[in-house]
């Protein structure tokens, strides 16, 4: 039984996973945890810490840990997605990663001092793997629940739901942290660690909505005992098909480069604010909330732009804005400038993620049913770009002792992505549907 296209109930349930998982993106990767990590991972006031015998600056260790988590995901997802396509068990694999990620978020509750640094890094890596791993199977449902003319709107709706949900929980978390004594906590650190529990509960709790609606094995695939061999064959089949779809390959290459910049900014902007501009946690978190609210509007705005000008033009406009953001970040010196730049980042952050997902969906061959395998290549590209982006950001910071130089280097990634995007000829993305 195939999923009926454009069914409102199915689309609402699918979008609710963005609502469920985006709290991880905001609270754990962007806002509260990085600030908490910087406060806890210090050695008597010194940012240089020892991790398994290595001496590293805490921000460098954090960027390297993120790089490692995405490398792990990139290594294992192709085979798992092939198995998911062969068995028709996308939802099952999605559940496994959701449980892994949400429990790891809860595990961060026990990261309470430098003595538990190894545990904190372990949980943050596992949460990142759970988050990224679940997305490949979640994204693979998009071309199965919506017709091509609805990809942009449905993708934007999902991201917008994520931004709304994450802001709601973020505000609740901030109320708990700022009024910790009223909630029965002994100090701000205990209240902060409690919010990590809330993130895990929110993530796994709201995930029950898509899990209850999205079908298992929508194409009624028959399974033999050789699921790993067949899964590997599924991946090889998609790989061979990629060779026959040059626009899809070119888009993946373009996405690889510009996403390096996008994701690195998202994951490490908080550290930039603390280390370069010396902003306190309250101002940083207020800025991040601003970004989330603006990002929701940006997702809808650029969905409209793509309808009128085509996905390719919409992405090109956003990449040009991102290049400007990197150049300005190199030179900013004041808090007001940081806020203005954050608003611009929010506007293009929501749009570029939403339109990238829908653009890739449009370029997948129409007659395929191996959506998880196709999206595994999208997500491998996504994760490898984060590996290189966060690693290069940390490496340049370590070598030059300046995050400004790291931000400037990101502009190069966006430029390469823009050049590659210009080579795509497909009418599906060059012009409106």
What is the per-residue pLDDT across 215-252, written as a single tens digit (0 to 9) for each?
Answer: 776 655 555 556 666 666 666 777 777 778 889 899 99
- Checking if the pLDDT of 433 tops 60, the result is no
Q: Is the pLDDT of residue 59 over 60?
A: yes
Residue 220 is assigned to a structural domain of this protein: no
Cα separation of 64 and 244, whole Å? 36
179 confidence band (pLDDT: 50, 70, 90):
very high
Q: Could you tell me what percent of the chain has a pLDDT over 70?
A: 90
- Contact between 132 and 73 under an 8 Å Cβ cutoff? The reply is yes
With respect to residue 79, please indicate whether it lies within any of the assigned structural domains. Answer: yes
Sequence-distant contacts of 38-42: CB under 8 A, at least 24 apart? 38/271, 38/274, 39/189, 40/111, 40/112, 40/113, 40/114, 40/117, 40/120, 40/189, 41/114, 41/117, 41/120, 42/114
Domain assignment of residue 221, yes or no: no
CATH label of the domain that carries residue 330: 1.20.1250.20
* Of the listed ranges 11-15, 218-222, 256-260, 409-413, the one predicted with least confidence: 218-222
Mean of all residue pLDDT scores within the chain: 84
pLDDT grade, residue 431 (50/70/90)?
low
Q: What is the pLDDT of residue 292?
A: 79
134 and 94 in contact (C-beta within 8 Å)?
A: yes
From 120-129, 248-257, 333-342, the region with the lowest mean pLDDT? 333-342
Higher pLDDT, 343 or 130: 130
Let me know if residue 1 belongs to a domain: no
Q: Is residue 98 domain-resident?
A: yes
Q: Report the pLDDT averaged over residues 294-318.
A: 88
pLDDT at 55: 81
**Which pLDDT score is estimated for 3?**
65
Structure confidence at residue 224 (pLDDT)? 54
For 344-378, how does the pLDDT look when each residue is reduced to its tens digit (9 = 90+)? 888 898 889 889 988 988 888 876 766 667 777 78
pLDDT higher at 252 or 268: 252
Number of folded domains that form the chain: 1
pTM of the model: 0.78
Domain span at residue 46 reads 8-215+228-430
Can you tell me the distance from the alpha carbon of 128 to that of 133, in angstroms, rounded to the nearest whole number?
A: 8
Asked if residue 222 is part of any domain, the answer here is: no
Confidence of residue 422 (pLDDT cuts 50, 70, 90): very high
Q: What is the mean pLDDT of residues 253-265?
A: 90
The rounded distance, in Å, linking the Cα atoms of 246 and 91 is: 30
pLDDT over threshold 60, residue 2 = no
Over the stretch 61-93, which tens digit does the pLDDT of each residue have? 887 887 788 788 877 877 777 777 667 778 888
pLDDT of residue 271: 67
Q: Are 278 and 332 in contact (CB under 8 A)?
A: no
Q: What's the residue count for the chain?
A: 433
Query: Do the domain assignments include residue 2?
Result: no
- Please state, in angstroms and as integers, the Cα–Cα distance from residue 406 to each residue in 13, 105, 332, 337, following that order: 39, 28, 14, 18
Mean pLDDT of 104-125: 93
Within-domain flag for 370: yes
């Amino acid at each position: 039984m195939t999923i009926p296209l454009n069914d409102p109930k199915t689309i609402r349930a699918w979008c609710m996973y963005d609502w469920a998982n985006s709290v991880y993106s905001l609270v754990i990767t962007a806002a509260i945890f990085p600030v908490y990590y910087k406060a806890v991972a210090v050695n008597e006031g010194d940012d240089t810490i020892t991790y398994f015998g290595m001496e590293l600056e805490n921000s460098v260790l954090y960027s390297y840990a993120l790089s490692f988590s995405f490398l792990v995901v990139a290594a294992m997802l192709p085979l798992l997605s092939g198995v998911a396509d062969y068995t028709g068990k996308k939802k099952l694999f999605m559940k496994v990663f959701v449980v892994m990620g949400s429990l790891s978020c809860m595990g961060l509750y026990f990261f309470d001092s430098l003595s538990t640094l190894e545990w904190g890094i372990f949980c943050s890596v596992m949460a990142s793997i759970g988050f990224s791993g679940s997305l490949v199977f979640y994204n693979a449902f998009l071309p199965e629940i919506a017709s091509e003319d609805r990809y942009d709107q449905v993708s934007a709706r999902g991201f917008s739901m994520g931004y709304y949900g994450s802001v709601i929980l973020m505000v609740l978390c901030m109320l708990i942290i700022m009024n910790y004594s009223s909630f029965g906590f002994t100090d701000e650190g205990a209240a902060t660690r409690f919010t990590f529990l809330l993130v895990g509960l929110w993530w796994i709790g709201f995930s029950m909505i898509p899990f209850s609606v999205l079908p298992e094995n929508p194409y009624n695939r028959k399974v033999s005992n050789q699921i790993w061999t067949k899964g590997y064959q599924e991946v090889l089949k998609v790989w061979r098909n990629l060779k026959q779809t040059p626009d899809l390959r070119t888009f993946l290459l373009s996405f690889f480069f510009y996403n390096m910049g996008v994701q690195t900014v998202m994951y490490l902007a908080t550290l930039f604010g603390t280390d370069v501009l010396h902003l306190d946690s309250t101002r940083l978190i207020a800025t991040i909330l601003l970004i989330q609210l603006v990002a929701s509007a940006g997702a809808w705005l650029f969905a409209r732009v793509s309808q009128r000008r085509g996905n390719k033009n919409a992405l090109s406009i956003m990449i040009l804005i991102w290049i400007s953001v990197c150049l300005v970040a190199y030179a900013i010196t004041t808090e007001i400038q940081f806020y203005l730049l954050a608003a611009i980042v929010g506007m293009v952050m929501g749009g570029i993620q939403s339109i990238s997902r829908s653009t890739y969906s449009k370029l997948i061959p129409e007659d395929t049913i191996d959506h998880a395998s196709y999206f595994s290549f999208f997500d491998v590209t996504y994760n490898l770009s984060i590996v290189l982006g966060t690693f290069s950001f940390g490496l340049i910071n370590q070598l030059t002792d300046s995050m400004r130089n790291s931000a400037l280097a990101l502009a190069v990634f966006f430029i390469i992505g823009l050049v590659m995007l210009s080579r795509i000829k497909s009418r599906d993305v060059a012009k409106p549907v």
